[in-house]
Amino acid sequence: MITGDKIVYLEERLEEFPKFPLSLVPTPCHRLNSLSETYGTEIYCKRDDLTGFGLGGNKSRKLELLIGEALENGCDTVVTSGGIQSNFCRLTAAAGAAAGMSVSLVLGGKRPVKPTGNLVLDNLLGAQIRYVDSPDWNDWETESEALSRELTEQGQRVFRIPIGGSVPVGVVGYITAFLEILNDEKRLGVTFNQIIHASGSGGTQAGLVVGKDMTGWKGLINGISVAMYREELEEKVFKLAHETAGILGGNVTRESVLVEDGFIGPGYSIPTAEGEKAIEVLARREGIFLDRVYTGKAASALLNWLEQGKLSGQRILFLHTGGHPELFA
């Protein structure tokens, strides 16, 4: 059962982490009227696409803690890696610049002839970019480690962030988001049965799971995978959540980690017809913009389950994690 004591305990522990504030929070949370009427199911949206900083998205919540730690450690340089259209890299470039740090990005893929989408913003933000021509996340990490060593040898104090910022300090950002959702429930006078969101490197989901288990919230958290198969991502999310909860003096259960992998399509960042359809539906019906890599695929799961009546009688929260600059790629 949720008790005020558990929430206060968690809030106090989260306060102990150094933070470089970036996000404009709380983000809005509202009913999706048109979709709710069509499907006869109560559907709400938590607008983490509107976290405000650097065009918004889930990663600004992680980055305020990661940059907070980097500054606390006296670092002057941030290195991270991701796909060419990585939202995390765009937001790292913005956060590092705002903190007066130099930012180097390792981007997976060939240097494009003409930058588009997030890459335009990476350049505008002044990030140094190194390309690694591979679709394999491990190759990006290896190159990011190599670049960190090179910069360290040149005398820079490097803070290296793994893909997506999915390490315990980053995960803490999504425990805070979870507590915000509990406040949204109170303000709106509702209880959500299920949170549905895009899950990539697993940090967002791990934070929500820690929040759920450490407060005793009863709803389900359903991560819609955009890259890994269910077993691999569930294992990763559980490990991260377990480690983060341990740091906070709490624990999580394996049963709280639920991943759906039926909407990835041919692979990470490869658009699906269902995802494109979902992007169109949310734009035309609700004036909400999604992206093809993450939120479009998560919304395709939501619409599929609504159409099949799998969510009837429930109150659903779709967590919009951002990513719309990718629409211009």
Ligand X SMILES: Cc1ncc(COP(=O)(O)O)c(C=O)c1O
- To the nearest whole angstrom, how small is the minimum distance from the Cβ of residue 213 to ligand X? 18
Complex with ligand X: residue 84 or 151, whichever CB lies closer: 84
Tell me the DSSP string of 152-207: HHTT--EEEE-GGG-SHHHHHHHHHHHHHHHHHHHHHT---SEEEEEESSSHHHHH
Distance between CA 250 and CA 267 in Å, rounded?
Answer: 35
* Residues between 83 and 102 that touch ligand X (CB under 6 A): 87-88
| Interface residue with ligand X, options 204, 215, 244, 269 (CB under 6 A) | 204
Structure tokens at 327: 């629409």
Residue 292, SS3 per DSSP: coil
Distance between CA 143 and CA 149 in Å, rounded?
Answer: 10
| Interface residue with ligand X, options 168, 202, 250, 325 (CB under 6 A) | 202
Residue nearest to ligand X (CB): 323
Binding mask 277-296 for ligand X (x = CB under 6 A): --------------x--xx-
Q: Where does this chain touch ligand X (CB under 6 A) — which range of 112-120, 180-188, 258-266, 319-327?
A: 319-327
User: What are the catalytic residues?
Assistant: 86
Phi first, then psi, for residue 187 (nearest 5°) are -60, -40
Taking the CB of residue 37, how many other CB atoms lie within 10 A of it?
A: 11
Complex with ligand X: residue 59 or 151, whichever CB lies closer: 59
Residue 79, SS3 per DSSP: strand
| Interface residue with ligand X, options 96, 108, 117, 164 (CB under 6 A) | 164
| Interface residue with ligand X, options 54, 56, 117, 200 (CB under 6 A) | 200
Q: Could you tell me the CA-to-CA distances from 238 to 32, 68, 291, 303 in Å, in that order?
A: 30, 25, 26, 26
| Interface residue with ligand X, options 199, 215, 222, 256 (CB under 6 A) | 199
At position 107, the amino acid (one-letter code) is L
Complex with ligand X: residue 197 or 315, whichever CB lies closer: 197
Q: Could you tell me the CA-to-CA distances from 267 to 222, 238, 255, 261 in Å, in that order?
A: 19, 22, 26, 11
27 binds ligand X (CB under 6 A): no
Structure tokens at 249: 């003096």
77 binds ligand X (CB under 6 A): no
Distance between CA 2 and CA 43 in Å, rounded?
Answer: 23
Distance between CA 211 and CA 3 in Å, rounded?
Answer: 13
166 binds ligand X (CB under 6 A): yes
Binding mask 294-313 for ligand X (x = CB under 6 A): xx------------------
Binding mask 227-266 for ligand X (x = CB under 6 A): ----------------------------------------
167 binds ligand X (CB under 6 A): no
Q: Nearest 10 degrees: CA dihedral of 247, 171, 185, 318?
A: -150
* Residues between 44 and 63 that touch ligand X (CB under 6 A): 57-59
Complex with ligand X: residue 151 or 245, whichever CB lies closer: 245
23 binds ligand X (CB under 6 A): no
Q: Where does this chain touch ligand X (CB under 6 A) — which range of 15-23, 110-118, 180-188, 321-329?
A: 321-329
173 binds ligand X (CB under 6 A): no
Burial 54-91 (b: 16+ CB within 10 A, else e): bbbbbbbbbbbbbbbbbbeeebbbbbbbbbbbbbbbbb
| Interface residue with ligand X, options 201, 222, 244, 300 (CB under 6 A) | 201
Sign (positive or negative) of CA dihedral 23, 264, 122, 279: negative
| Interface residue with ligand X, options 203, 219, 275, 325 (CB under 6 A) | 203
Question: What are the residues binding ligand X (CB under 6 A)?
Answer: 57-59, 87-88, 164, 166, 198-205, 291, 294-295, 321-323
